[in-house]
Structure 1
Amino acid sequence: MQALAPLVALLLHFALFRLASAVGNVPPKLYGVNLEWLDMGGQSCSDCSTCIADEWSFAKAYPDTVDATFDKHWSTWFTEDHVQQLKADGINAVRIPLGYWIVEPLVNRSSEYYPRGGIKQLQRGLQQLQDAGMVAILDHHALPGVQTAGQQFTGHCTQDVEFYTPYNYHRALVWTAVMTALTHLDPAFNSVFAIEAVNEPIMNADQTPGYGQFQVNFVQTIRAVELILGIPVPGVSLDVSLGTSNTSAAFIQVATSTSLPSIFNQNVTAALLEAAPILLEMAAELAIPTILDFTSTQAPLFSSRTPLMTNFMDVNWQYNDPPNPAYAAIGPQGYDNHLYYNYGGVADPNPDAYMTSICNLQRVQNDAAVGDTPLWFGEWGLPTQFDATDEFLYMWADAQKMAYTKGAGWLFWNFHVEISELAGNLSRQWSYLDGVNYGFLTKDPAAYHNASVCDPYYYNTTSSS
C-alpha cells in the first residue's frame, strides 16, 4: 500500500485472490482480505512523521502501556466472528503483513520502539484461520531499518531509509529463517503456503543497492531451513548427517559444517546461526515441542511436504534496471503487484479514464514475458480521486476483479477499517466487508454484477501498463 492515511495496522492483512498452485493443499482459486487506530490513542496528520501515526511513534510515546494496548487491539480487531464473516463471504486465503519486530530479539530496544507480543497473536489468528479452512501468506511488510520513506506501513514513518544495508539485510534473513521454521514446525502455521520477502521496496532501483543479492539470499535461506528439516527441495540436497533432533542445534551444526550445497552461502549460514537461539525462545513462548525434537516426531510428515512458495514484488514494481526475482527462484515462487488509482499517476481522475485504463491493463502479460508468473495483485481497493457514485463503484469493483483474475488473482485492502468520527466514510471504499454489505463487491468473490462491464472500454493495444 502506498499510504492509507490515517489508518494503518500491521497485524492481519487479508487478501482476496486466486492462485493456481501445487503448493501443499492450496485450492486452485484463493479468495482472501486486510487488518487499524485512532481509538487506541494514535493520531492522524498530513505528515505521518510528525505525529503518533505508526507503531514506532506509539511505542515511544506510551512505553509503559504500549504492549497492553496493542494486545487489546489485536484481540478485538480480528476475532472469531470476523473469521466466520470472511468465510461466509467466500474468503479462503489471507495475506498477513508483519513487522520484523514480531521476532522480538531482532529489535534493538535502545534505539528502536515497537510493541511486544505480536507472535502469540499471530499464532492465535493463524489457528483460527486454519480451523476455518483458509490458507495464508506471511508478508514481511515492515523491514528492519525501513524499506520505503514516509510510509506508515513500514512501522516507522521516516525519511531515514536504512534497510538496504548489510546489517539490515542480515536481520531480514534471520527473520526469514525463524518464520520459515515456525511455519513448518508449529501446527498453528500449517495453513501458511508462502512467505513474501519485502512489501513495496523503493521503486527506483538505483536507491536499493544489494536488493538483487538479498532476493537470492532470501530464497536460499528458506530452502536451507527446509533442507535441514528434511523437506525435499527441487534440484538441491543436504549431504550432512544430522546428529540432533533439536532444530536450533541442527541450524548450528549445518551452519558450521565445511561441506554444504552452494545455497548455504555465508549470508545464509550467518542467518541460521543467529536464528538458532531465537527458535529456542520461540519454542518456550509458543509451546512448540517440535522445535526441540523435530526428527523423531515429524520426519515422515516433512518428507512428504512441499516447499513453501517464495514471494516477491514483481520486477516491474521497480524501474532503472531492477533485479528480476525470477532469477532467484529455487522451487515454487509467486509475484505480487499493487495498484491504487486514488494516489494518481495511473489514469486521469474521471470514471471513463479509470475504466479504460483498468479494462486494458497489461501487467499480467508484461510480467509473464519476463518470467514473473504467477502474478497476483496483493493490494487494491475501491478508492478514487473523485467522488464516486454507487453506480460507478459497482462497475469499478467488477472491472478491477476482472483485470486481476487474468493473473493469479487479487487481494483487497482492507478487511475492515476503523469506524469513528475522524475516519468518516472511509469504510465505503476501503473495507471489504462493508463493500459486500453495500453491494459493490459480490457475496461470491468469483462473481460479477456485469461480466460485460469492460466491453465499451476495450481497445486494441498492448501498451497499457
Structure 2
Amino acid sequence: MLSKPLITALLAFASARIAQCIPLESKDESTRHSRRWLPSVDKIRGVNLGSQFIIEPWMAYDEWNSMGCGSTNDEWQCVKALGQDAADAAFKKHWDSWTTQDDITQIKSLGLNTVRIPVGFWLKEDLVYDSEYYPRGGLAYLDRLVGWCADAGLYVIMDLHGGPGVQTPNQQFTGHSVSYPGFYTQENYERAYELLEWMAERIHTNDSYRTVGTLQVMNEPVHASDYSSLAADMIANFYPGAWNRIRDREDKLGVSSSDRLHIQMMGKAWGSGDPSSHLPDTTSALYDDHRYYKWDTSVTTTQDGYISAVCQDNRGGSDIIVGEWSIAVADAVASSDEFQIGDQAAWYGKYWAAQAQTFEKSGGWVFWTWKCNWIGGVNDWRWCYQSAVAAGVIPRDAASAASISPC
C-alpha cells in the first residue's frame, strides 16, 4: 500500500524534475534509473485510450466497418475472417490513425496528467499460438504512442486488458468474446507472466517508456460470485506469481528500489477477492476500481438519485485509482427527457464533476474513454471525453471539478 510519505516524496521529485526541465531519465547511465514518478499534482486525472490496441466495436462502429470487420464481433473474429495479412494491414491503418500526436497534445492541454493504455497479450507475438487469431505489428505503434506521452509529460498506466485464454466471458475488450474464461490455468498464467516481464524490461530500458510508471497485471477478471474457484486461484497464484516475476526482472536489470514500477491489480471492490492477500510484499502496489453508476441497480435513476449516489460514495485510499468510469446512465432512462443529451448538458457537467471530486477522495481517476466512433457519426459524449469537452459538458480544466461539483 502506498504510504502518504511515499506519495509525497514521489510527487515532490516529479515536480522538481519538471521545474528544472531535467529529463525524467538521464542519458547518463549512472543516473538512468531515477525515481519512478507519479504526476506532479496530488491526484491522477486521466483518460483511457480505449480501442487503440483492442478495438471494441460497440464504441468504434464506423471505424470497425471501415476496416472490413463490420460483420464480426471482436478482433479474433475479424482476423480470422479477413486473413492474417489483410487483417494486419487493416489494423496497422487503425493503429496509425485512431490516437494521434494531436490527441496527446490535446489531452495534456485539458489539464489531464495520465493516460491508461489497454493492450492485449498478443502484442508480444511469440506468445500467440498458431490456433489463435490476433493482429500483428502493434508494438511499433505502442512505442510511438508512449514516446508522445513522455514528450508531453503524461504519466502512463500500461494495462494488460486482454489476457491469454480470455479472462472474462462474453466481452469484446478481451479481443475474443467466448462463453467460458480460459485464462485461469498455469499455461496461460505463464504466458501472462512472460508478457509482463517483457513489458517491465521494455519500460526500464527503452527511453520512449520513461513516463510509464504503473503496470496493471490484468483488467477485469471474473467475479467470485460467478466463478469462485477461478477467482480464488487468481488471488492465490496468479497475482503473487505476476508480482514476483516483475520484481525479479527488475532485480536482474539492477533497477533501484525507488524506480520500481507500481504494480496494479483490481481492488477488493471489483469482487474477485483481496488481491494483496497472498502477495509477498505490497510496496508500490496500486489497486484499480471501475465505477459505473450506469450499471448500479441500487441507484435511483433520477438526476437527484445519481448525484446523491455519487456524492455519498467513497472508493477508498490513495492507493486506489478509479481506472474506468463514464457519465452514462441506465439504458432504461438514457433517452428520457430527464437525461436526453441534447437538453441536459448542464446536468451531465455536474454529474462529471461530482464523480471526479468523489474519486479524488482516493488516488484519482481515469475516464473511459478518450474517443468514440459511433454508428453513423452519432455523438453520444457520455462515454467520450474528447467530444464531451467539445460539447461544453466537461470543462477544459480537469482540475476544476471541485469548484463545479454539486456535492
Aligned residue number for residue 145 of structure 2: 125
**Post-superposition shift, 1:448?**
2.7
Matches within 5 A, 1:156-305: 156-204=176-224, 206=228, 207-212=230-235, 213-233=237-257
**Post-superposition shift, 1:362?**
2.7
**Post-superposition shift, 1:353?**
1.5
Matches within 5 A, 1:321-332: 322-325=273-276, 327-328=278-279, 329-332=281-284
Stretch of structure 1 that moved more, 147-156 or 324-333: 324-333
User: Matched residue of 2:222: which SS?
Assistant: coil
Stretch of structure 1 that moved more, 328-337 or 50-59: 50-59
**Pair 1:383–1:118, CA change in 2 (3 A):** same
Tell me the amino acid that sits aligned with residue 399 of structure 2.
A
**Post-superposition shift, 1:425?**
2.8
Tell me the amino acid that sits aligned with residue 114 of structure 1.
Y
**Pair 1:326–1:20, CA change in 2 (3 A):** farther
Aligned residue number for residue 36 of structure 2: 24
Aligned residue number for residue 386 of structure 2: 433
**Partner Cα separation in structure 2 for residue 200 and residue 446 of structure 1:** 27
User: Matched residue of 1:357: which SS?
Assistant: helix
- Establish whether residue 410 from structure 1 lines up as the match of residue 365 from structure 2: yes
- 1:51–1:57 Cα contact (<8 Å) kept: no
**Partner Cα separation in structure 2 for residue 222 and residue 41 of structure 1:** 34
Aligned residue number for residue 273 of structure 1: none
**Partner Cα separation in structure 1 for residue 346 and residue 9 of structure 2:** 35
- Establish whether residue 351 from structure 1 lines up as the match of residue 292 from structure 2: no
Aligned residue number for residue 84 of structure 1: 105
- Establish whether residue 38 from structure 1 lines up as the match of residue 61 from structure 2: yes
Tell me the amino acid that sits aligned with residue 45 of structure 2.
Y
- 1:147–1:202 Cα contact (<8 Å) kept: yes
**Partner Cα separation in structure 1 for residue 121 and residue 9 of structure 2:** 27
Aligned residue number for residue 309 of structure 1: 262
Aligned residue number for residue 104 of structure 1: 125
Matches within 5 A, 1:140-159: 140-159=160-179
**Pair 1:41–1:378, CA change in 2 (3 A):** closer
Aligned residue number for residue 346 of structure 2: 391
User: Matched residue of 1:32: which SS?
Assistant: strand
1:121-147 deviations in Å (ceiling 9; x for gaps) = 100101111111111111000000001
**Post-superposition shift, 1:51?**
5.2
- 1:377–1:404 Cα contact (<8 Å) kept: yes
**Pair 1:159–1:148, CA change in 2 (3 A):** same
- 2:265–2:275 Cα contact (<8 Å) kept: no
Aligned residue number for residue 361 of structure 1: 313
**Post-superposition shift, 1:357?**
0.8
**Partner Cα separation in structure 1 for residue 368 and residue 8 of structure 2:** 21
- 1:21–1:27 Cα contact (<8 Å) kept: no
1:426-456 deviations in Å (ceiling 9; x for gaps) = 2x211111111222212110103744511xx
**Partner Cα separation in structure 2 for residue 79 and residue 39 of structure 1:** 18
**Pair 1:118–1:82, CA change in 2 (3 A):** same
Tell me the amino acid that sits aligned with residue 210 of structure 2.
N
**Post-superposition shift, 1:20?**
6.2
User: Matched residue of 1:311: which SS?
Assistant: strand
- 1:20–1:28 Cα contact (<8 Å) kept: no
**Post-superposition shift, 1:334?**
0.8
Aligned residue number for residue 13 of structure 2: none
**Post-superposition shift, 1:323?**
3.5
**Post-superposition shift, 1:306?**
1.1
Tell me the amino acid that sits aligned with residue 347 of structure 1.
V
**Post-superposition shift, 1:316?**
2.3
User: Matched residue of 1:342: which SS?
Assistant: helix
TM-score (norm 1): 0.71
User: Matched residue of 1:90: which SS?
Assistant: coil
Tell me the amino acid that sits aligned with residue 173 of structure 2.
F
User: Matched residue of 2:294: which SS?
Assistant: coil
- What stretches of structure 2 of length at least 5 have no aligned partner? 1-6, 11-34, 52-59
1:395-437 deviations in Å (ceiling 9; x for gaps) = 101110111000000000110111541x5232x2111111112
Stretch of structure 1 that moved more, 50-59 or 176-185: 50-59
**Post-superposition shift, 1:346?**
4.2
1:93-152 deviations in Å (ceiling 9; x for gaps) = 11110100001000002x211000111110010111111111111100000000111111
**Pair 1:41–1:312, CA change in 2 (3 A):** closer
- 1:42–1:53 Cα contact (<8 Å) kept: no
**Partner Cα separation in structure 2 for residue 106 and residue 175 of structure 1:** 8
**Partner Cα separation in structure 1 for residue 367 and residue 262 of structure 2:** 20
TM-score (norm 2): 0.81
**Pair 1:449–1:309, CA change in 2 (3 A):** closer
Matches within 5 A, 1:3-14: none
Bigger radius of gyration: 1
Tell me the amino acid that sits aligned with residue 220 of structure 1.
N
- 2:354–2:405 Cα contact (<8 Å) kept: no
Identity %: 32
Aligned residue number for residue 116 of structure 2: 95
**Partner Cα separation in structure 2 for residue 60 and residue 103 of structure 1:** 19
Aligned residue number for residue 318 of structure 1: 271
User: Matched residue of 2:309: which SS?
Assistant: helix
Tell me the amino acid that sits aligned with residue 38 of structure 1.
Y
User: Matched residue of 1:406: which SS?
Assistant: coil
**Post-superposition shift, 1:343?**
2.7
**Pair 1:447–1:397, CA change in 2 (3 A):** same
- 1:416–1:433 Cα contact (<8 Å) kept: yes
